[in-house]
Amino acid sequence: MEKTGYFLIIYALMSLTAVAQEQDSTRRAFLAAQAIIQKESAADHAQMLEQLHITSLRPGPSGNPDAPNYANIDESQATPYTSLPDPLTLKNGKKVTTAKQWWNERRPEIVEDFDREIYGRVPKNIPKVTWKIISETREMNGDFPVITKNLVGHVDNSSYPSINVDIELILSTPANATSAVPVMMSYGFRFPPGFRMPASTTATSGTATQATKPEPTWQQQLLAKGWGYAILYPTSYQPDNGAGLTKGIIGLINKGQPRKPDDWGALRAWVWGASRAMDYFETDKAVNAKKVGIEGLSRYGKAAIVTMAYEPRIAIAFVGSSGEGGVKIHRRKFGEQVENIASSGGYHWMAGNFIKYAGPLTPNDLPVDAHELVALCAPRPVFISSGSPKVEGYWVDAKGMFLGGAYAGPVYKLLGKKDLGTMEFPPMETALVDGDIAFRQHSGGHTTGPNWPTFLKFADRYFN
Ligand code: GCU
């Protein structure tokens, strides 16, 4: 008996060592792959600089509070700019006073600026996507029976067969629904084996606590209302790095060649995938395609607001900690800067042209700013979410995101809707949800989790 116990312990130790060794080699493989991606991204970034005739860029500040070049977090230094571009003044200087002028004249001007300088142009004639249900299962999510469909949207790649593009989407709707249901689509993270989340940006979902019964996840909160949820995996059709710009849907259209300065970046490509998901939802009787919302966090928070701006069929947006490149005012000198996103670690999200604003141009030269991205969503509802700087850090610039929503107000009002209701940054956990632009800063970290209940109350007004 004693001997058996002894052997069991040895066996357990051996297995643990084997697991640790395997984890070690997975981690090593991941880091090696990362190093190659970084090298290739830097090379692609350099060729884009050449196309732009740029020889040097201003470096962005550090996100590390202990670094000497840590980003500015002093509010008194945050607004070196004196004015922002006016969403309601046409390029010819005329004021926009009617909804018709907004739709026919001003909005197209703003879209053109975002296309050319910020997110890039979507190519014409993208080949067709064919959706296929790979599996359909009835399962339980907590107490709720759901029907889950695993879907793949295959892009016709006959023009360049060496690049294969499959959009991966999962849809779950209540199994007992008697009619088509509203659906929240979330941009889903998918990490390669060996990946470790940096401590400061740990993304969590739901509001797990020490309580005996775990709080319902965001999916369960949706199911409790009789709504469904979908998860769209952006990196299934466009990799999240510069090296991947010659792959995925961008690479397929460019036949494996590098981008031109106004070609679309990863964010705009991810949004294209969300539009194709919408095409699918319009064919699925379980989904009320008039009530589909989009949610995302961090880089996918950026994707969520760009989706709302560019895809008119999306009915509501829940934009989590989108920061620079999302709803944060580019001109604000607080937390992450244009220069950071223009570097080889972030430029792939944007059009190549965006890099110009990190040298020789400055953020002040941008023809548009983030409040106009929110304005492009009008009159549809947008919920802007942030965590607490104490937990999430100052990098995302909660106030900068608040202002992105606040300064979009005049366009909402012109279209007969309500703005944020204040220009004053509210205290922590104050929900500004009476208008069609909403804002709330929760006291947690880099997650949308704690804001789901508030968002859902806001969404009720539109979906119920
Ligand atoms: C970095 C980056 C952000 C981005 C975030 C993310 O922090 O600087 O702009 O939003 O990563 O995880 O998506």
Domain ranges of the chain: 99-192+215-463
Residue 356 near ligand 1, beta carbon < 6 Å: no
Mutating to test ligand 1, I would choose from 196, 267, 298 the residue with most ligand atoms within 8 A of its C-beta, which is 298
Residue 299 near ligand 1, beta carbon < 6 Å: yes
User: Which 3 state secondary structure label does DSSP give 27?
Assistant: helix
Q: Which of 59, 80, 84 is nearest to 333 (CA)?
A: 80
Compute the CA torsion angle 226, 230, 231, 237 (nearest 10 deg). -170
Q: What is the pLDDT of residues 25-61, one digit of tens each?
A: 999 999 999 999 999 999 999 999 999 999 999 999 9
83 alpha carbon to ligand 1 midpoint, in Å? 26
Residue 324 near ligand 1, beta carbon < 6 Å: yes
Ligand 1 atom at minimum distance from 203 CA: 12
Atom 12, ligand 1: residue with shortest CA distance: 298
299 alpha carbon to ligand 1 midpoint, in Å? 6
Where residue 133 falls among pLDDT bands split at 50, 70, 90? very high
Q: What is the pLDDT of residue 205?
A: 44
Whether the model clears a pTM of 0.75, i.e. scores above it, the answer is yes
φ and ψ at residue 377, rounded to 5 degrees: -80, -20
**Is the pLDDT score of 15 beyond 70?**
no
398 alpha carbon to ligand 1 midpoint, in Å? 14
Q: What is the pLDDT of residues 67-119, one digit of tens each?
A: 999 999 999 999 999 999 999 999 999 999 999 999 999 999 999 999 999 99
Q: What is the pLDDT of residue 2?
A: 54
Q: What is the pLDDT of residue 204?
A: 44
Where residue 21 falls among pLDDT bands split at 50, 70, 90? confident
Supply 23's token pair. Answer: 């984890």
Where residue 208 falls among pLDDT bands split at 50, 70, 90? very low
Pick the CATH number of 99-192+215-463 from 1.10.579.10, 3.40.50.970, 3.90.550.10, 3.40.50.1820: 3.40.50.1820
User: Which 3 state secondary structure label does DSSP give 398?
Assistant: helix
Residue 425 has a CB neighbour count (10 Å cut-off) of 17
Q: Which residues pair with 382 in a beta bridge?
A: 317, 437
435 alpha carbon to ligand 1 midpoint, in Å? 28
Supply 231's token pair. Answer: 């998860």
Supply 446's token pair. Answer: 């880099």
Q: What is the pLDDT of residue 366?
A: 98
Distances (CA, A) of 375 to 134, 295, 308, 330: 38, 18, 10, 15
The answer to whether 319 and 381 have CB atoms below 8 angstroms apart is: no
Q: What is the pLDDT of residue 211?
A: 52
**Is the pLDDT score of 270 beyond 50?**
yes
Distance CA 88, CA 102 (A): 8
Structure-token match 């001997």, residue found:
3
Distances (CA, A) of 320 to 91, 386, 395, 407, 450: 31, 6, 13, 18, 11
The answer to whether 37 and 243 have CB atoms below 8 angstroms apart is: yes
Supply 144's token pair. Answer: 């709720």
Angle at the Cα of 309 from the Cα atoms of 304 and 313, rounded to 5 degrees: 90
Q: b/e string for 80-98 if b means 16 or more Cβ within 10 A?
A: eeeebeebbeeeeeeebee
Q: What is the pLDDT of residues 291-334, one digit of tens each?
A: 999 999 999 999 999 999 999 999 999 999 999 999 999 999 99
**Is the pLDDT score of 199 beyond 80?**
no
Q: Residue 377: CA atoms inside 13 Å, Cβ hemisphere, count?
A: 34
Q: Which of 242, 444, 267, 449 is nearest to 370 (CA)?
A: 267
DSSP 103: I
Using CA of residue 278, residue 293, residue 354, residue 188, what is the dihedral sign?
Answer: negative
Per the omega criterion (within 30 degrees of 0), is the bond before 379 cis?
yes
Residue 134 has a CB neighbour count (10 Å cut-off) of 12
Residue 339 near ligand 1, beta carbon < 6 Å: no
Supply 225's token pair. Answer: 């209302």
Residue 62 near ligand 1, beta carbon < 6 Å: no
Q: What is the pLDDT of residue 23?
A: 85
Q: What is the pLDDT of residues 238-266, one digit of tens each?
A: 999 999 999 999 999 999 999 999 999 99
Where residue 14 falls among pLDDT bands split at 50, 70, 90? low
Distance CA 269, CA 349 (A): 9
Q: What is the pLDDT of residue 11?
A: 61
Q: What is the pLDDT of residue 12?
A: 63
Atom 13, ligand 1: residue with shortest CA distance: 299
Mutating to test ligand 1, I would choose from 336, 392, 397 the residue with most ligand atoms within 8 A of its C-beta, which is 336
What is the average pLDDT across 378-385? Answer: 99
